[in-house]
Amino acid sequence: MADHAANAETFRLEVRRTIPRPVAEVYAAWTTADAIAQWMAMPGCEQVKVQCEARAGGRLVIDLVHQGKPWREDGTWLEVVPNRRLRFTWVTPETPAAVNSVVTVEFTDRGASTDLTLTHTGFPNQQERDSHDAGWQQIVDVIIAAAKAGLTVATLARAALELQRASRA
């Protein structure tokens, strides 16, 4: 168990970005099942279904098909402070519950924009940390692109998914 605690800080990642949208919109993108389903529909991910009970003790369950295989990301909301902070466990096939993987998303209201800081700790190894870093960066990029285009996250993610499907045809 001590090794997992040491790894929590050793294999930590942080994403800091400014999103050109008010904090309430950015917060909603992280706490609304439909919005989460849209930004999780990244290249290689299809048939995304989300269960989101954004309250302390509630569940966050994301079922999808990743590169042709069923995949589940599962978590429990540990802290929900509207428009300020979210903290939840993150369990995947590569990151089991015993690893104690936790994601914290902090929102700083800047009026017309929001500073977002995402911290993810508790990776079992560097490879998993790097894989998740790429994923979180891509998710935040989708949210920023939607905001800059004046689109909702859901609209932009749907368009990206349609382009992905068209490129395979």
Q: What is the pLDDT of residues 24-80, one digit of tens each?
A: 888 988 998 888 887 777 767 788 899 999 999 999 999 999 888 898 989 999 999
Q: What pLDDT digit, counting tens, does each position of 73-130 carry?
A: 899 999 999 999 999 999 887 776 667 889 999 999 999 999 999 999 988 888 888 8
User: What pLDDT shows up at residue 155?
Assistant: 63
Contact 38, 153 (CB under 8 A): yes
Greater confidence, 60 or 167?
Answer: 60
What pLDDT, on a 0 to 100 scale, did the predictor assign at position 113?
93
Is the confidence at residue 162, as pLDDT, over 70?
Answer: no
- Tell me the C-alpha distance between 98 and 4, whole Å: 9
Q: Is 162 exposed, middle or buried (0-12, 13-18, 19+ CB in 10 A)?
A: exposed
